[in-house]
Chains A and B, each alone.
Chain A
Amino acid sequence: MNLHEYQGKEILASYGVNVQRGIVASTPDEAVEAAKRITQETGSGWHVVKAQVHAGGRGKGGGVKLAKNLEEVRSRANDILGMMLVTPQTSAEGKKVHQVLIAEDVYYPGESETKEFYISVLLNRQAGRNMIMYSTEGGMDIEAVAEHTPELIFTEEIDPKVGLQGFQARKIAFNLGLSGKAFKEMTKFVTSLYKAYDGIDASLFEINPVLKTSDDKILAVDAKVSLDGNGLFRHPDYAALRDTREEDTTEVEAGEAGLNFVKLDGNVGCMVNGAGLAMATMDIIKMAGGNPANFLDVGGTADAKRVETAFRIILKDKNVKAILVNIFGGIVRCDRVAQGIVDAYKNIGEIPVPIIVRLQGTNAAEAKVLIDESGLKVYSVIMLQEAADKVKELVL
């Protein structure tokens, strides 16, 4: 589950991670009030107005602006709130901005030069351990750094028995070229950061940039925080931070019905039991000359109700020209699923596109009889190859 920058920063701060101070706002008036409070607390006269959407590269799309006085705070907030923000990570139409973060200006001049770093915490799947990945090249596109100067990216693996050790935090601070007060601040920053990662069941932290200020403080200027959905039962307060406005509405609806659904751009809808078979079915559609319109795993209990909901969700997409139902009955009996399809058809009324039903496994023969005798515009097949051939015939 992804969080907004302001939510991530609040959580980090609660673990003692030094972050750029900010207050979230939904209207230009709130933005001005937020700016006033930040000036009181930090003395910062300049502010940064940052769009809060789940996508990186916000600055490139005009979603991050500096404001040098309260009037500018108001006008920048007014510009950004409600805009469709297009970044390299969003679709072409962009994402609607509902909130902005009003943050203190931390790039003030001082005794030493400011310096930006990159720090992320994530799972190293191969090792089965968490690791901290960091670089002296902060504030820029880290993928480009990895491609052009991989020697500037370091990793530190965490032993789960003992957690992050002091020598590791010091090594990170040394490798980032710090000394004196900034060095100490960095070891504290990294230690708190890992404590937060471990404490909240995170699946990714990406802090880019981590800033060394001109007075040698270390703080998180941005924060991408992702939580492990499977760990949310331990953190009901964090579960409430989910912002469904950032998600596809159909996907949210499907999730509530217990269906695992991902919207795609194709013309053939599919309904499958099991994630692996669902992906394989999408591949079959592509090979047959079509394009999958979705990923949909109905799960282990493909009963009539779920089948009907799944049909309704797939049919919302007007690009869908045909639907392929692919169920391998194991514990689920195919005749029950077939009955569900027949019922769903009747309840929904006219389904305007052809449906190919492939039921295999437990009671597949009985299921085929049910479908064939229903008199519905449903093509019943048994082998996967037959399903592929039928898709080809209908789509091309």
Chain B
Amino acid sequence: MNLIFETELLISFMIKRKKHLITKGFDLFLPRIKKPSNMSVLVNKNSRVIVQGFTGSEGSFHASQMIEYGTQVVGGVTPGKGGMMHLERPVFNTVAEAVAKTKADVSILFVPPAFAADAIMEAAEAGIKVIVTITEGIPVKDMIMVKEYIKDKNCTLIGPNCPGVITAGEAKVGIMPGFVFKKGNVGIVSKSGTLTYEAADQIVKAGLGITTAIGIGGDPIIGTTTKEAVELLMNDPETEGIVMIGEIGGNLEALAAEWIKAHGTKPVVGFIAGETAPKGRTMGHAGAIVGGADDTAEAKKAVMRASGIHVVDSPAHIGTKMAEILAK
């Protein structure tokens, strides 16, 4: 535990003192978000979704849940099982074939961690625009390669280790309980799964509803950052307020806060989980670890407050806070 702690602490010093060293060229590494023209935020009722890892137990269960929600699931990919039908949809051997036959533009992955990186790259190569990776436990080494590989591909990666994306009333591309997400005008960006459901539930109980909820995932390397997800919701005409839920570890929330300060046009309610987490311990999510002074909950909240974000200290107040602000 202390190994990570020491060096992460060191990095935080570096970021503070020699910012240019760490952030130099940073923008080069961000995947360029290209907003597909036929979509509201990432997915909608016209999204044509394929499921990678379709015939496995996870893939089957969640695919049927997605179909029940009304998502246009047009098929799936399981190498070696091409040609068969599953859940009344065609199974393909490759993503390229699935795209050619079904015009799919969104993919959701339930591929085991050892093969997930390969599957993400296959989807990117085949021209899938939005790749949602649910898989938990992908090695960091693999994700470094993925991030590099998709840099010049025309796609947006969500996750890995995330609950997915849901546009209320239109499409659920994820594992969240659909009934919680009633349609409305609040967007959610979150690193966490169940905490996203909690926030959505509070929003709905406060008399509001959800446009799109984006679960970005809790791993050290993820495809879409907090800032990028917030930006998507800022640009969505239907979204009037944004809930941003982060946790200890890394500086994604701070970067998002800086962007919001400069470009934000809508109110943002923020919460950071892990105020009580001890230093140097990984709290469930691989990326949730306090290294230095900058990635504690307190430090993140301070940066967020300074950027004009309405930060709540209690996770029980997310919904009421948003209702209070939007009522003004």
Using CB atoms and an 8 Å cutoff, list the residues of chain A in contact with chain B.
Answer: 2, 54-56, 89, 120, 122-130, 133, 142-143, 146-147, 150-151, 153, 155, 160-161, 198, 201, 203-204, 206, 224, 226, 228-231, 233-234, 260, 262, 264, 266, 272-287, 291-292, 295, 297, 328-331, 360-362, 383-385, 387-388
Question: Closest Cβ of chain A: how far from B121's Cβ, in Å?
Answer: 13
Nearest Cβ distance between residue B114 and chain A, in whole angstroms?
Answer: 6
Q: Is B21 an interface residue (CB 8 A)?
A: yes
Contact A283 B2 (CB under 8 A): no
Cα(A190)–Cα(B190), bound, Å: 39
| A332 vs B193: C-alpha distance when bound (angstroms) | 13
16 additional A-B residue pairs with CB within 8 Å, beyond A150-B17, A275-B283: A56-B2, A56-B6, A146-B14, A153-B14, A155-B21, A228-B139, A262-B281, A276-B247, A277-B194, A287-B314, A292-B276, A328-B201, A330-B175, A331-B175, A362-B177, A383-B205
Residue of A whose beta carbon sits closest to that of B277:
A279
- Chain B residues 151 to 177 lying within 8 A of chain A, measured CB to CB, are 175-177
> Inside 8 A of B247's CB, which chain A residues have their CB?
275-276, 279
A276 and B23 contact, CB distance less than 8 A:
no
CB pair B177 A125 closer than 8 Å: no
Residue of A nearest to B21 (CB): A155
Can you give 29 contacting A-B residue pairs, CB < 8 Å? A122-B7, A124-B22, A125-B250, A126-B26, A126-B255, A133-B7, A146-B9, A146-B17, A147-B13, A160-B144, A201-B140, A204-B7, A206-B3, A228-B141, A274-B284, A275-B192, A276-B194, A276-B247, A276-B285, A279-B277, A280-B195, A281-B315, A282-B275, A286-B275, A328-B197, A328-B201, A361-B197, A384-B198, A384-B202
Chain A residues with CB below 8 A from B23, complex form: 126
Closest CB-CB distance, A350 to chain B, in whole Å? 29
Quick check: B139 and A280 within 8 Å, CB to CB?
no
B325 located at the interface, meaning its Cβ lies under 8 Å from any Cβ of chain A in the complex: no
Residue of B13, B143, B316 with most partner-chain A CB within 10 A: B316
Measured between beta carbons, the chain A residues less than 8 angstroms from B145 are 160
Q: Which residue of A lies closest to B136 (CB)?
A: A230
Contact present for A146 and B314 (CB under 8 Å) = no
Residues of A contacting B315 in the complex (Cβ-Cβ under 8 angstroms): 277, 280-281, 283-284, 384
- A203, B197: Cβ atoms closer than 8 Å: no
A384's partner among B22, B29, B316 (CB-CB below 8 A) is B316
What residues on B are CB-neighbors of A125 within 8 Å? 220-221, 250-251, 287
Asked if B141 and A279 sit within 8 Å, CB to CB, the answer is: no
B218 touches A127 (CB 8 A): no
Residues of A within 8 A of B6 (CB): 56, 89, 142-143, 206
Whether B221 and A128, one on each chain, are in contact in the complex, defined by CB atoms closer than 8 angstroms, is yes
Q: Is B245 an interface residue (CB 8 A)?
A: yes
A160 near B2 with CB under 8 A, answer no
- Quick check: B195 and A231 within 8 Å, CB to CB? no
Closest to A246 in B: B1
* Residue in A153, A226, A274, A361 whose beta carbon sits within 8 Å of that of B177 in the complex: A361
Which B residues, 251 to 293, have Cβ-Cβ distances below 8 Å to chain A? 251, 255, 271, 273-278, 281, 283-288
Most chain B beta carbons < 10 A, residue from A155, A274, A284: A274
Name the residue among B18, B179, B195 with the largest chain A CB count within 10 angstroms: B195
Q: Cα distance A79–B201 when bound, in Å?
A: 59
User: Which residues of B (4-57) have their CB < 8 Å from a CB of A?
Assistant: 4-7, 9-11, 13-14, 17-18, 21-23, 25-26, 29
Q: Which residue on B lies nearest to A149, using beta carbons?
A: B17
Q: Is B137 an interface residue (CB 8 A)?
A: yes
B140 touches A123 (CB 8 A): yes
How many B residues have CB within 8 A of the partner chain?
80
A126 to B144, CA, bound (A): 11
Hey, which chain A residues are within 8 Å of B129, CB to CB? none
Residues of A within 8 A of B138 (CB): 230
- Does B148 belong to the interface (CB within 8 Å)? yes
Verify if B182 is at the interface (C-beta below 8 Å from A): no
List the A side residues contacting B125 at CB < 8 Å.
none
Q: Closest CB of chain A to B159's CB: distance in Å?
A: 14
Q: A128-B143, A274-B195 are in contact. Are A295 and B316 (CB under 8 A)?
A: no
Residues of B whose CB lies within 8 Å of any CB of A are 1-7, 9-11, 13-14, 17-18, 21-23, 25-26, 29, 61, 65, 113-114, 137-141, 143-145, 147-148, 175-177, 179-180, 190-198, 201-202, 205, 218, 220-221, 245, 247-248, 250-251, 255, 271, 273-278, 281, 283-288, 297, 313-317
Given contacts A231-B141, A280-B198, contact A264 B278 (CB under 8 A): yes
Question: Is there an interface contact between B18 and A274, defined as CB atoms closer than 8 Å?
Answer: no
Q: Give A126 to B4 CA distance when docked, in angstroms.
A: 16
Query: A189 CB to closest chain B CB, in angstroms?
Result: 19
A226, A231, A282, A328: the one contacting B194 at CB < 8 Å is A328
Partner of A204, one of B3, B26, B176: B3
Determine the distance from Cα of A142 to Cα of B315 in the docked complex, in whole angstroms.
37
Give the distance in Å from the alpha carbon of A95 to the alpha carbon of B14 in the complex.
Answer: 30
CA distance A123 to B7 in the complex (A): 10
> Nearest residue in A to B313 (C-beta to C-beta)?
A287
Which of A228, A274, A295 contacts B192 (CB under 8 A)?
A: A274
- Asked whether B10 lies within 8 Å of A142 as measured between CB atoms, the reply is yes
Residues of chain A within 8 A (CB-CB) of B65 are: 331
Compute how far the CA of A221 lies from the CA of B276 in the bound complex, rounded to whole angstroms.
36
Pairs A-B, 3 closest by C-beta atoms:
A276-B192, A275-B284, A274-B194
- A143 and B278 within 8 A (CB): no
B3 touches which one: A56, A161, A280 (CB < 8 A)? A56
A153 to B120, CA, bound (A): 36
Query: Could you tell me the distance between the alpha carbons of A264 and B279 in the complex, rounded to whole angstroms?
Result: 11
In whole angstroms, how far apart are the Cα atoms of A155 and B14 in the complex? 10
Bound state CA distance, A161 and B147, in angstroms? 11
How far is B250's CA from A89's CA once the two chains are assembled, in angstroms? 22
A388 touches B180 (CB 8 A): no
Residues of A within 8 A of B3 (CB): 2, 54, 56, 204, 206, 224, 226
CB neighbours of B277 from chain A (8 A):
279, 282, 295
What are the residues of chain B within 8 A of A287 when measuring CB–CB? 313-314
From A155, which residue of chain B is reached at the shortest CB distance?
B21
With CB as the reference atom, state the residue of chain A lying closest to B191. A276
Closest to A327 in B: B194
Report which of A161, A278, A285, A331 forms a contact with B148, defined as CB distance below 8 A: A161
- Whether B194 contacts A285 by the Cβ 8 Å rule is no
Q: Known A231-B139, A274-B194, A330-B194; judge A295-B7 contact (CB<8 A).
A: no
Q: How far is the CB of A185 from chain B (nearest CB, A)?
A: 24
Q: What's the Cα separation between A317 and B140 when bound, in Å?
A: 34
* Contact A155 B22, beta carbon cutoff 8 Å: yes
